[in-house]
Amino acid sequence: MLPTGDVYTVEMNAVKTVANVHAFVLEGLDGVRSALDEHVTTALSALPAAGADYRNLWQSIGEQFEGGKNLRPALTLAAYAGLGGEDSSAPIPVAAAMEMLHTAMLIHDDVLDHDEVRRGRPNVAGTRRDELRLHPTLTVDQVEDNVTTAAILAGDLAIASAYDLISRATLPAHHRIACLDLVTRAIRTTIAGELLDVYANMVPPEEANSLLVAELKTATYSCVVPLLAGAQLAGADPTMIGHLEKLGTSLGLSFQLVDDDLGVFGDPAVTGKSVLSDLRAGKRTELLRLGFHLADAEGRQVLAATVGHPDLDDEGAARAREVLESSGARASVLKVARQHARIARRIATERVSAPLSGYLVELIDSLGERPS
């Protein structure tokens, strides 16, 4: 764990470097994982009368922490340390809440997308389906009800847990209230984005407001809120908060646009995600919007005949990818992603104080080149 007390304070005050921030984040992520595991372990035994199914649901939530990038808690830890925070324990519960909230969002998003695999392994819904696979009496409809119920309720528990982690933290009341407000903002914004995303099926793909969806659904809770939470704990002034808000929005948009590309063109063995799900769902991403907008008549016919069909096979998906490539849609989306990354990088370089600025520049560069 990170050193505590006077020794650590002297070290942080003496040498405030990007390396210090990296070390703080790496050590802090161990603390975040411990906090998450402890929270789940405590919850497992909190209601013994609820029985094994309740315990199993918590166990399934705990399994969702494996294999993630830890982007959100890392941003909280980095913002705290990079803006002068010195107490190694202070940001841990808030950073853990950011990861717990992310887990809730993923669980519910998978319900909406009818996905049962996440990071190469069964998610909550997939785990429940596996548990019921050999059940002797349940009908097909009853199995589906069980699977959906498990995922919805697990996501609800994770949302409640995000609040719980912060409300029980040994932080000054004004910090706890501010971070709880940020969690509420993240939830409301993400719901608005999800609603736009799902309801976009009612409009032609080329008319979808996909960049707004990406900002609301992903950028705010993934980048803006975690950065602001760490900054709040470090006592950042309103000007710095404003800079981080803009940086987080552009970083989140870049992240999501690359993620959408990986959802169609990535390697499932690396990403842990299917490259068919988004195409089968006809997901109104910026990649698909530009595909319909830039393709010629023949290309649009191919997209219309393949995208949005639940039974789309590998051959049909390959045809759709060819159109997205040849039309220039993929190149255009990746160009927009790079543009937003440059905006975030410029803000980090010109407006954010060291050593946080250096840490963020390195992170922005690495996310643009990620394979998963």
Could you read off the pLDDT of 293-335 as tens digits, one per residue?
A: 999 999 999 999 999 999 999 999 999 999 999 999 999 999 9
Whether the CA torsion 111, 157, 233, 83 is positive or negative: it is: negative
Read off φ and ψ for residue 123, nearest 5 degrees. -85, -165
What does the pLDDT look like over 123-178, one tens digit per residue? 999 999 999 988 889 999 999 999 999 999 999 999 999 999 999 999 999 999 99
DSSP lists the bridge partners of residue 118 as 121
What does the pLDDT look like over 178-188, one tens digit per residue? 999 999 999 99
How far apart are the C-alpha atoms of 210 and 41, rounded to whole Å?
Answer: 39
Mean pLDDT value across the chain: 93
pLDDT at 3: 38
pLDDT surpassing 90 at residue 240: yes
pLDDT at 111: 95
pLDDT surpassing 50 at residue 4: no
Asked whether 221 and 186 are in contact (CB, 8 A), the reply is yes
Which token pair is 70? 């830890």
Give the pLDDT band (50/70/90) at residue 50: very high
Which token pair is 50? 């609820």
Mean pLDDT in residue range 89-101: 98
pLDDT surpassing 80 at residue 192: yes
CA torsion, points 355, 360, 366, 369, in degrees to nearest 10? -150
Domain range for residue 331?
5-368
Give all strands (DSSP E) within 211-254, no chain letters.
none
Number of neighbours of residue 232 by Cβ within 10 angstroms: 23
Cis previous bond, 122, omega within 30: no
Which parts of 114-172 fold into alpha helices (H)?
A: 124-132, 140-167
CATH assignment at residue 102: 1.10.600.10
What percentage of the chain reaches a pLDDT higher than 90?
A: 88
How many structural domains comprise the chain?
A: 1
Total residues belonging to the chain: 372
Give the pLDDT band (50/70/90) at residue 6: very low
Number of neighbours of residue 173 by Cβ within 10 angstroms: 7
Give the pLDDT band (50/70/90) at residue 370: confident
pLDDT surpassing 70 at residue 10: no
pLDDT surpassing 50 at residue 15: no
